[in-house]
Structure formats: structure tokens, C-alpha cells
């Protein structure tokens, strides 16, 4: 089993959107995927179900008298695609620094997911590299860093990558998959320049080849509570996420036999 965290320094760069649609792409390819909402805002749950505010979830698992993983899993219409919402998490203290006992619970969660037969766990996370996001990164196999293609945001990327590299002291297996450019508007000079300057700034291996364009269908999809790929007219976007899936499989050396 492989665990991937979708993580960024800045908020609102498309983490939740990428988490949902990447999970969907892997599930469509036949991998058994668990999408986990590790953001206390609960955005994945709100995007995919209407009742997630009441559901138990990841933060309940982390709390001292935590519950079993199986009791938290919400199925979707697709057999290979399940979700764990963020939950209530009463008793779980948000914020603060890296917490060894929380990281141990995160590791238990990942181990349980493996025992339950999942091929892949994708964690959506809250912005920044502190608190629970840090605890999850300390346990996971890989990190993908969405970054909106806009001039100011691009500047924070090297610092974010350095932060992830520093975390490898605690988790040497953590593979930095790279930056994924999101909300790219190639027709807009500022956006295209921001995207290109990031590609110039970073080593090739640290920027995903695939880019996610800005598209109103993402808003439509989140209004309907579905991955964008199920909407009519979203074939090109589906292809982007499928391309991203293939890039990730190649970077992680995931064998095609399992898919
Ligand atoms: N490629 C895109 N094209 C158009 N809109 C997008 C795209 N990606 C994300 N959005 C929209 O931008 C907003 C922020 O996206 P999203 O919630 O995925 O970001 P986030 O990084 O998870 O934010 P947060 O840090 O608050 O969790 C949402 O309204 C989403 O629908
Ligand atoms: Mg989010």
C-alpha cells in the first residue's frame, strides 16, 4: 500500500480539488483507494457528501478513545473508491507542533488501511507544514504539492520544498513527488509566466509534467458533490488527472500489475 499527502504552504491552491480527482483517477484505474480528509475544515466530506458534518472521521480515530477504521469509511458509488471524512474530533487538539503520540495514531490508521486491503491512501491536508499535516507527513510515503500558477504564490514554493526535505530527517522514506501547477491559464500572460518561471526555478524532477488548468467545471463538480470526471465535457480534465496518476505511478515505481 502507498500513502500520499496532498500538501501546500498556502491555502486555496487546489489541494482538495486535486485530492478528490486524483483519488477518482486511481479508483477508475482499478486501485482500491481511500481518500482521507485530514483537514479539520472537512472540505472533502463537504464536497462529496452533504451530511459529513455529522459523520465521525479521521479526527475521531486520532482521539484517545479512537474508533475502528472500518466504522469511519463512507462508500461511494464506485466500488474501488471510499472516503473517510474529517469527523468531529472532540478531544483532539488542533494546531501545535509535531506530536509523537498523534503521529503514532496516524501510523496505526495507515497500517489499518493496509490490513483492510486498500492499495492507496490519499490524504487531503490543511495548508502549512505544522500540526496534524506534519504528523501525517511524518508517516506517509509521498507528498504532492499543488501550487496555483500566479506570480506571488510561486515564490513560496522553494521554502515549502525545503520544509518537506527537512521532514525527511524524521521520515526518510518520504518521497517528494513534486509541485503540481494548478488553475493554470495559459492564455493569460501572468499565469503562463508564473508557471514557466517555476519550471525554470526548480529541477525538472520536482515539477509534475501534467498541469491542471483553471476550469469552471471544478466549481460545478463541487456543487454537485462529484469528481469532475463524471461531468459531461470534462474529458480533457479526466485525461489530465489520468496523466498525473501515470506520472505518480512511475515516480513511485507502482507496478501496473496491481492496477
Ligand atoms: N483548476 C481549477 N479551476 C477552477 N477552480 C478551481 C480549480 N481548482 C480549485 N478550484 C477552486 O478554487 C477553490 C479552492 O480550491 P480547493 O478548495 O481545492 O483548495 P485548497 O488548497 O484545498 O484550499 P484550503 O487550503 O482552504 O483547503 C475552490 O472553490 C475550488 O473549486
Ligand atoms: Mg482544502
Q: In CATH, what number is assigned to the domain containing residue 110?
A: 3.40.50.300
Per-residue confidence in pLDDT tens, the chain, 259 aa: 999 999 999 999 999 999 999 999 999 999 999 999 999 888 887 777 766 567 889 999 998 777 899 999 999 999 999 999 998 776 566 555 667 788 999 999 999 999 999 999 999 999 999 989 999 999 999 999 999 999 988 888 999 999 999 999 999 999 999 999 999 999 999 999 999 999 999 999 999 999 999 999 999 998 888 999 999 999 999 999 999 999 999 999 997 654 4
**First vs last C-alpha separation in the chain:** 12
Distance from residue 16's CA to the centre of ligand 1 (Å)? 6
The reported pLDDT for the residue numbered 67 is: 86
Provide the residues around ligand 2 (an ion) whose CB is within 5 A: 15-16, 43
Residue of 16, 39, 40, 123 to mutate, ligand 1, most atoms within 8 A of C-beta: 16
Which atom of ligand 1 has the smallest separation from the CA of 13? Answer: 21
Residue of 13, 15, 17, 183 to mutate, ligand 1, most atoms within 8 A of C-beta: 17
Name the residue among 251, 242, 231 with its Cα closest to residue 31.
Answer: 242
Does 80 map to a domain? yes
Which atom of ligand 1 has the smallest separation from the CA of 214? Answer: 3
Q: Is there a contact between 225 and 85 (Cβ–Cβ < 8 Å)?
A: no
The set of cell numbers assigned to 144 is 504532492
Q: How many domains does the chain have?
A: 1
Residue of 19, 35, 218 to mutate, ligand 1, most atoms within 8 A of C-beta: 218
Minimal-distance CA residue to ligand 1 atom 14: 12
Does 259 map to a domain? no
The reported pLDDT for the residue numbered 43 is: 80
Distance from residue 44's CA to the centre of ligand 2 (Å)? 7
Q: Is there a contact between 19 and 6 (Cβ–Cβ < 8 Å)?
A: yes
Q: Which three-class secondary structure state does DSSP give residue 4?
A: strand
Does 153 map to a domain? yes
Distance from residue 257's CA to the centre of ligand 2 (Å)? 32
Distance from residue 183's CA to the centre of ligand 2 (Å)? 14
Which atom of ligand 1 has the smallest separation from the CA of 183? Answer: 1
Q: Is there a contact between 139 and 108 (Cβ–Cβ < 8 Å)?
A: no
Q: Which domain holds residue 232?
A: 2-252
Does 102 map to a domain? yes
Pocket of ligand 1 (CB under 6 A): 8, 11-17, 39, 43, 127, 182-183, 212, 214-215, 218-219, 222
Does 10 map to a domain? yes
Does 14 map to a domain? yes
Does 20 map to a domain? yes
The reported pLDDT for the residue numbered 53 is: 65
Taking CA atoms, 244 is separated from 59, 247, 251, in Å, by 29, 5, 11
Count of CA atoms in the C-beta half-sphere (13 A) of 68? 4
Amino acid at each position: 500500500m502507498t500513502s500520499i499527502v496532498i500538501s501546500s504552504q498556502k491555502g486555496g491552491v487546489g489541494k482538495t480539488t486535486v485530492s478528490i480527482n486524483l483519488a477518482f483517477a486511481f479508483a477508475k484505474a482499478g486501485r482500491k483507494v481511500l481518500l482521507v480528509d485530514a483537514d479539520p475544515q472537512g472540505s472533502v466530506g463537504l464536497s462529496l457528501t452533504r451530511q459529513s458534518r455529522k459523520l465521525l472521521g479521521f479526527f475521531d480515530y486520532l482521539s484517545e478513545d479512537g474508533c475502528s477504521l472500518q466504522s469511519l469509511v463512507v462508500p461511494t458509488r464506485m466500488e474501488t473508491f471510499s472516503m473517510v471524512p474529517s469527523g468531529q474530533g472532540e478531544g483532539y487538539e488542533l494546531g501545535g507542533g509535531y506530536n509523537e503520540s498523534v503521529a503514532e495514531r496516524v501510523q496505526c490508521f495507515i497500517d489499518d488501511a493496509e490490513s483492510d486491503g486498500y492499495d492507496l491512501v490519499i490524504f487531503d491536508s490543511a495548508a502549512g507544514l505544522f500540526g496534524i499535516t506534519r504528523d501525517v507527513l511524518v508517516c506517509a510515503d509521498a507528498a504532492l504539492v499543488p501550487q496555483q500558477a500566479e506570480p506571488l504564490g510561486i515564490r513560496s514554493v522553494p521554502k515549502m520544498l525545503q520544509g518537506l526535505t527537512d521532514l525527511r530527517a524524521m521520515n526518510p522514506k518520504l518521497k517528494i513527488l513534486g509541485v503540481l501547477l494548478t488553475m493554470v491559464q495559459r492564455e493569460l500572460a501572468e499565469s503562463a509566466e508564473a508557471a514557466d518561471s517555476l519550471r525554470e526555478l526548480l529541477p525538472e524532477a520536482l515539477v509534475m509534467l501534467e498541469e491542471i488548468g483553471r476550469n469552471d467545471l471544478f466549481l460545478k463538480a463541487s456543487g454537485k458533490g462529484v469528481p469532475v470526471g463524471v461531468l459531461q465535457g470534462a474529458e480533457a480534465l479526466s485525461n489530465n488527472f489520468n496523466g498525473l496518476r501515470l506520472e505518480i505511478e512511475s515516480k513511485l515505481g507502482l507496478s501496473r500489475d496491481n492496477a
